[in-house]
Amino acid sequence: MPFSKENCSQLYNQINGKLMADLKSQIIAQLNLQDMNPDNIGDDQPLLWKVLGSTQSML
Amino acid sequence: MSAKLQISSSILIRKNNLIKDGISVFEYSGTNISDFLGSIYIFLGITYPKFYKMDNLSKLGFLATELLLKDNKLSEKYLPEEIGVNLSNTNSSLDTDIKYFQSTQDIASPSLFAYTLPNIVIGEICIRNKIKGENSFFISSAFDPELTSIYVKSLFEEQALRACICGWVECLESEYSVMLMLVEKMFKII
């Protein structure tokens, strides 16, 4: 496998990916976001800033 | 002849699971991190008494490197100065810092104090594998693949490295994760 930013990221996501998925599920459950699923939330998408600062927010 | 950097092997450790090159090689059913690390040590058949003196961060990095290099003895291919190490995590050596601070309430522990720096894990890896090349430990809020790839590539270009162990070694209380890569310069005839 070539040594690249993308492959480093892909390997790291394998140890971090489950945690991210769990966190997204918790956010959706706790905020009762019935129209959303974890796939709608990007890994590097700001949450609080977006919610407070823009109508184009996650909410 | 052109040279390309390749990830020749990788190790992942998370949630009681030890994975080499995408294949789970060891799984532990308990919940105690110290027991999990001790089980890996036995599983790998290592005889290295100093292991028992290490803190959990160093044990994680040490064990991951043992498996990473199990069938790839770098010392037979490269000079000590041609092998580097670059690791990173978020919590530095906080796991041991807290334990050391707690020990100071009674009698400060010199054995814990020795591990109150994150780069000690690199020292343990280098001593075990006789590595003398460039080494560094980065602290960041999350693994930065861009920084790692740019930095390691620069080590190959500017420091004449021919192999580098790099990645992520994190440990705080019962939470831990490891992602190690062995990067080598592969030559291809074109």
pTM for the model: 0.82
Contacts for B44-53 with beta carbons within 8 Å, 24 or more apart?
B44/B70, B48/B128, B50/B124, B53/B111
Of B5, B145, B150, the CB nearest to A12: B145
* Contacts (Cβ under 8 Å, ≥6 apart) of B131: B74, B80, B83, B84, B85, B125, B165
Write out residues 25-54 of A within 8 Å (CB-CB) of B.
none
Instruction: Categorize the per-residue pLDDT at B30 as very low, low, confident or very high, splitting at 50, 70 and 90.
Output: confident
Judged by a CB distance cut-off of 8 A, whether residue B14 touches chain A is yes
pLDDT of residue A59: 45
> Letter for the amino acid at B173?
E
- Please compute the mean of the pLDDT values over residues B69-77 and round it to a whole number: 92
pLDDT digits (tens, 9 = 90+) for A1-59: 999 999 999 999 888 766 677 778 888 888 888 888 877 887 777 766 555 555 454 44
Provide the number of CB pairs (under 8 Å) joining chain A to chain B.
58
Q: Are B162 and B99 in contact (CB under 8 A)?
A: no
Instruction: Number of helices (H) and strands (E) in chain A: give both, helices first.
Output: 2, 0
Residues B77-89: what's their mean pLDDT? 96
Q: Per the CB < 8 Å rule, is A3 touching B168? A: no
Q: Confirm or reject contact between A14 and chain B (CB < 8 A).
A: yes
> What residues does B137 pair with on adjacent strands?
B87
Which single residue is written with the structure tokens 């599983």?
Answer: B43
Q: What is the pLDDT of residues B32-71, one digit of tens each?
A: 999 999 999 999 999 999 999 999 999 999 999 999 999 9
DSSP 8-state secondary structure symbol assigned to residue A39: G
High-pLDDT (> 90) share of chain B, %: 86
Q: Which residues of chain A lie closer than 8 angstroms to B145, CB-CB?
A: 5-6, 8-9, 12
- Mean pLDDT of all residues in chain B? 93
